Structures are given as structure tokens and as C-alpha cells.
Structure 1
Amino acid sequence: MIEPQTLTFLKKLKKNNNKPWFDEHRAQYEAARIDFSNFIQLLIDALQLKDTTITGMTSRECMFRINRDIRFSKDKQPYKTNFGASIKRGGRKSGFAGYYFHLEPGNSFIGGGLWMPEPAALKNVRQEIDYNWEEFQAILKERNFKKTYGDLYMGEGMSLSTTPKGYEKDNPAATYLKLKVFIAETAVTDEELVKASLHKKTLTAFEALQPLLNFINTAIDV
């Protein structure tokens, strides 16, 4: 579970996204970050029993900084108003697909996959889907995946407008070949965040995602 004070801090940060306020409340930030870090470490410790690619990983290797990169952004707010952690082989900056937990009051979710891959990795994943379409379909139709995620995320900007070069328009996998990212997610309410059942809910969601991650990472790791 996540401590209610952690949610309170993030809510207040959203209303006071400036350095003077943050500096004044640094102790609360540190407490909130430790709380989130402890939760992520518990997930890693349990998840690595079924996914050996993350064996020995620490939450520190997976968590993102709260500072925003504002160099090329019109939005000059200095801090993110969420905590995020990407649990995957090689740590959060690696090019592999992995598990993700997003903590943001009113907009938290569990999920994962492959986000904005390099061109070579994207090409390999599309090829893997085309070559092994029946296997890929079976992963997405698996009962636990379907129940948890429904399908891959296909929001605005996630797909090409046409089938990528080298694939016919009537390819049965066309919908997925158009994707530029391969992720799935399921929402978590603020009420669920502060319950002891959050740990089990998250592990169950991650375990449902694991076959998809294995499929994607097999394509990348060639």
C-alpha cells in the first residue's frame, strides 16, 4: 500500500509546483519518495521469483527523478507531480520492455510494455508480430491479460496512419503493426492505492503482462 501522506504531498505539489515551496517541504518529499521506493522494492522482490531477468534489481534503478527536463518545454514547472518506476532488465533506461507503476492522485495506473523504441527495435518487434501472429494473438487473448488490460493501449499518437512499409494493408496484424509503442495499462483508484491489497493487485497485473514482455524482448534481444 501507499501511505496517504504520499498522496497528500503529490496533491499539494501540483498546486505549488515551484522550487521555494519544494525546498520548504523537502522532508515531506523525502518521506513520500521512501514510501514509494519501499513499495516498488516489495514488488521487485516478489516479481523476481517468476521473472529472473530482474533478479537482484533495486527500486533505485527503476525509479524516475521528480525533476522535469524543461530545456525544450513550454511548460516550465520544475517538478513532476507523480512518482514512476520502470522495472525491467537493465534498469529504467534500458531498451527492453518492462513493468511500470505510475503513482499520481486521480491518474494512477499499473502497466508496462515497450515505450518509444529505437527504430531497429521497433522494426524487430513488428517483424516478430508478423511472423508469429498466432502466438501474439494468443497472448492478447489470454484470460488474465484480457481481464486486466483488455488490449494494448491505442490512444492518440500511438499509431501510424497507414501500415508501415513492407507490410500489406490487409495484413491480419495491421492494427498492431501500425503501433509505435506496445504498452498496456489498467487504472488504479486513489482508494485502492492506500489499501493493503494494492501489492497483490499489482503483482497479478504484472504477471498477466509477463508473456507480452517476453515476446517483445525476444524480438529485441537478437
Structure 2
Amino acid sequence: MLKASTFQFIKDLKANNNKEWFDTNRKIYQIAKDDFLTQVQALITGLEGFDPEISIAKLDPKKCIFRINRDTRFSTDKSPYKTNMGAWFSAGAKGVQKAGYYFHVEDGGCFLAGGLYMPETEALKKIRQEIHYNHKDLLAILNEKSFKQFFPKALDTENMLKKAPQGYKEDNPAIDLLKLKSFTASHSFGEEKLLDAGFDAFAKEVFASMYPLIKFLNQSFD
């Protein structure tokens, strides 16, 4: 589980998102970062228990986490720091399109997620082809009791196309899945869950329930 002091740092940063405050509290940030890395390693260990590709990849927790600094070059929001901590777990090398798992810690917005967000054009074509031929397998995964327990809305539909993608027709039995531009599922939870001693087991259960989805998406690239 994460330490309460780490989550408190995230809250404090949200209220004091400026370089002066961050520099003054840099040692506290480093302690929080180290604690987050410990939590990330625990999640990797859990993933290795059921995902053989993650086990083979031997993920480095330091390479899984995201930088705290924001890229403000093209944003009207010039706040220098992210007010969350996040980590991405995937067996794919850097820059390789491959589905994986995501851990997000934020005041009022903690969640565990997985899949592939906004894949590039060629990867998207491969996923749609896989869905076209094996949509019944994907539907079975989304309707599995263990999956629906954590993801009752199945896949996120925020970036769904209004019309059938090129090469497919509206009467395709998998049209609703083919219209998706992202293939992700997420489960939100409260601060109390994050700070509970049973969090590692909880996170492993959530991630394990989405493993069939990760496997389905990644077989598109085989």
C-alpha cells in the first residue's frame, strides 16, 4: 500500500503547483517518489503472477513511472507539475504499440486501467481486423463475470466514431467495437482503498480481470 504521507504530498502539490514550493519541498517529493516506486514494484510482482509477457520482460519500476514535470509548450495551462503520479506496465519496448496496464494516483481521481489508448493508425487497423474476425471472443471477455465486476461499462467509448470506419459497414455485427478509437477499461477507487493494507491484492485482482483483454489486443500484433 502507499503511505499516507505520499498521498498528502500529492494533495499539497495540487494546492501549491509552483516551482518555489516544489524546490522547498524537493526532499519530501523524493521520499514520496521512492514510496511510489516501492508500490509500483509491488504491482509489477502481482502482474508477473498471471501475465507471462510481463514476467519475461522484467520491468524496471523506474522506467514505468511518468515524470512529475508537465510539458507546457503547447498548453495554455502553464502549471509546472502534474498533480498525480502514474505508472504504465507493458511488455512492449519503448515506442512499440502494445496493450498494458496503468496505475493512477490523484486526489479525487485514483484508478487502475488497462488496454491501449488511441493506438496509431497501423496498430488500429490491426486491432480492428482482429475484432472483425474474432469479435465473439472479445464479447465473451467483456461479458465475463470477473471483468464486469470491475468494469460494468466495459470499454471506454469517449473517442468512438459516429460512422463505420473505412473498410467496414454499419451492418457489421461488431460495428460498435469497430468504431472505437481506444480500447481501454478503467476502475476508480477511493483514497481509503489506496492506503489499505490489502491494496496490492486488490490491484492484482483488478489487473488479472483485464488480462484476457490485454492478451486479445496484443494478439492483433502477432
Q: 1:46 to 1:102 in 2, by over 3 A?
A: same
Q: Percent identity?
A: 44
TM-score scaled to structure 2, two decimals?
A: 0.95
1:46 positional shift: 2.5
Matches of 2:21 and 2:96, distance apart in 1:
33
| Contact 1:61–1:92 (Cα < 8 Å) also in 2 | no
State the match for 2:97 in structure 1.
95
Matches of 2:197 and 2:71, distance apart in 1:
34
State the match for 2:38 in structure 1.
38
Q: 1:91 to 1:107 in 2, by over 3 A?
A: farther
Q: 1:94 to 1:103 in 2, by over 3 A?
A: farther
Question: What secondary structure, in the 3-state scheme, does the structure 1 residue paired with 2:102 have?
Answer: strand
| Contact 2:46–2:200 (Cα < 8 Å) also in 1 | no
Q: Which runs of 4+ in 1 moved over 6 A?
A: none
Q: 1:141 to 1:189 in 2, by over 3 A?
A: same
Matches of 1:18 and 1:93, distance apart in 2:
31
Q: How does 1:1-222 map to 2 (within 5 A)?
A: 1-55=1-55, 56-90=58-92, 93-150=95-152, 151-155=154-158, 158-220=159-221, 222=222
1:43-99 superposed Cα distances (whole Å, 9 cap, x missing partner) = 112321321212211211211111111111111111100000011113565421001
* Number of residues of Structure 1 aligned to a counterpart in Structure 2: 219
TM-score scaled to structure 1, two decimals?
A: 0.95
1:111-152 superposed Cα distances (whole Å, 9 cap, x missing partner) = 111011110000100110111011111111111001111201
1:203 positional shift: 0.3
Return 5+ residue gaps in structure 1 as ranges: none
Question: What secondary structure, in the 3-state scheme, does the structure 2 residue paired with 1:120 have?
Answer: helix
Code of the aligned partner of 1:190: E
Q: 1:170 to 1:125 in 2, by over 3 A?
A: same
1:17 positional shift: 0.7
| Contact 1:86–1:92 (Cα < 8 Å) also in 2 | no
| Contact 1:86–1:99 (Cα < 8 Å) also in 2 | yes
